[in-house]
């Protein structure tokens, strides 16, 4: 597949680099991605969200992805890679981006490495910062089975950990909360297994490259965010200075 070139710029007083968030489903990648996006002014690119939008719009991609996603399996690369290439080539990614849910396999990571090798700053390649958010199995189960969201304003709740004020309706607009189809217990098991099998090897892949930063995702969300910002700052400073 053709790899498009994108160029990144590091603003003088801040950092802007590609950020990859790794972590099991329910680890809090989406929450942290939103905070990083707000802090650095770079877009959050969630492959799961893009796929779900395609399902809602009933596009050809959405029609092909729907049943695979409902089973909790990974959508094939021939659908996901062009979708990611297209998104990363958009102008708003020129100062960096946060990948949330991609890469999911070593093959996707190798593809991304090649894609990013073609992205340069004055001839200098900017390696992504890879942050792994680690959460134990029982905590993940509770987060996933309890997750509900408001279909109107997208606010996310957890019926065990962060329940709405009154019975399963949104605090902000009163709309009935919904559960993602793939957050049902039988699908969660498949998603967590697919993570163990296909995505966990990525941690080793990035560790070997010396790019992995690991964060305890069971800490309070503010603390996870603070540690994530510090990891990004440190890696970006080292990249700007010509390090790995
Ligand atoms: P997420 O919202 O990240 O939990 O993703 C929801 C579902 O979208 C996954 O269970 C997969 O079916 C699909 N998906 C998201 N990202 C990818 C990816 N990088 N590769 C393949 N399938 C993906």
Q: Which position among 35, 143, 148, 191 bears the catalytic label?
A: 191
Measured between alpha carbons, how far is residue 59 from residues 54, 62, 63, 65, 110 in Å?
Answer: 5, 5, 6, 10, 28
Residue nearest to atom 1 of ligand 1 (CA): 48
Spatial separation of the C-alpha atoms in residues 128 and 181, rounded to whole Å: 32
**For 36-50, how does the pLDDT look when each residue is reduced to its tens digit (9 = 90+)?**
999 988 999 999 999
Residue bearing tokens 């596009």: 59
Which range, of 26-40, 72-86, 118-132, 219-233, averages the lowest pLDDT? 118-132
Q: Which atom of ligand 1 is nearest to the CA of 108?
A: 19
Burial pattern 179-197, b for ≥16 Cβ within 10 A else e, equals ebebbeeebbeebbebbee
- pTM to 2 decimals? 0.84
User: CA-to-CA distance for 111 and 98, rounded, in angstroms?
Assistant: 17
Nearest C-alpha neighbor of 139 from the set 87, 204, 217 = 217
Would you say how long the chain is, in residues?
Answer: 244
Active site residue 191: yes
pLDDT in tens, 59-93: 999 999 999 999 988 999 999 999 999 999 888 88
Tell me if residue 39 is catalytic. Answer: no
Q: For the chain, where are the E strands, in sequence order?
A: 18-22, 44-46, 97-100, 120-121, 124-125, 129-134, 147-149, 156-158, 212-216
Whether ligand 1 lies within 6 angstroms of the CB of 80 is answered as yes
Mean pLDDT of the residues in the chain: 87
So where are the chain's domains?
A: 18-238
Any atom of ligand 1 within 6 Å of the Cβ of 202? no
Ligand 1 centre from 46 Cα, in Å?
9
Q: CA 162, CA 22: separation in Å to the nearest integer?
A: 23
Residue 194 CA, closest ligand 1 atom number = 10
What percent of the chain lies above the pLDDT cut of 70? 88
Instruction: Determine whether 12 is an active site residue.
Output: no
CATH architecture of 18-238: 3-Layer(aba) Sandwich (3.40)
Q: Is 47 in the pocket of ligand 1 (CB under 6 A)?
A: yes
pLDDT for 19: 93
DSSP 199: I
């Amino acid at each position: 597949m053709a790899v498009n070139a994108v160029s990144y710029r590091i603003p003088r007083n801040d950092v802007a680099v590609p950020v990859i968030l790794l972590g099991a489903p329910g680890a809090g990648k989406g929450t942290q991605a939103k905070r990083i996006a707000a802090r650095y002014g770079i877009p959050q690119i969630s492959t799961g969200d893009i796929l779900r939008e395609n399902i809602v719009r009933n596009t050809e991609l959405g029609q092909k992805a729907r049943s695979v996603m409902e089973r909790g399996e990974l959508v094939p690369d021939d659908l996901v890679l062009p979708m990611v290439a297209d998104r990363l080539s958009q102008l708003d990614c020129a100062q960096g981006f946060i990948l949330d849910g991609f890469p999911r396999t070593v093959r996707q990571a190798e593809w991304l490495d090649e894609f990013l090798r073609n992205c340069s700053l004055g001839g200098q390649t900017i390696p992504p910062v890879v942050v792994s958010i680690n959460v134990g199995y029982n905590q993940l189960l509770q987060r996933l089975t309890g997750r509900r969201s408001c279909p109107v304003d997208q606010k996310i709740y957890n019926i065990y950990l962060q329940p709405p004020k009154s019975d399963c309706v949104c605090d902000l607009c009163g709309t009935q909360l919904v559960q993602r189809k793939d957050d049902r217990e039988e699908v969660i098991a498949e998603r967590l297994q697919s993570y163990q099998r296909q995505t966990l090897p990525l941690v080793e892949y990035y560790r070997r490259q010396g790019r992995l930063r690991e964060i305890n995702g069971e800490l309070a969300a503010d603390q996870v965010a603070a540690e994530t910002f510090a990891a990004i700052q440190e890696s970006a400073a080292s990249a700007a200075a010509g390090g790995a």
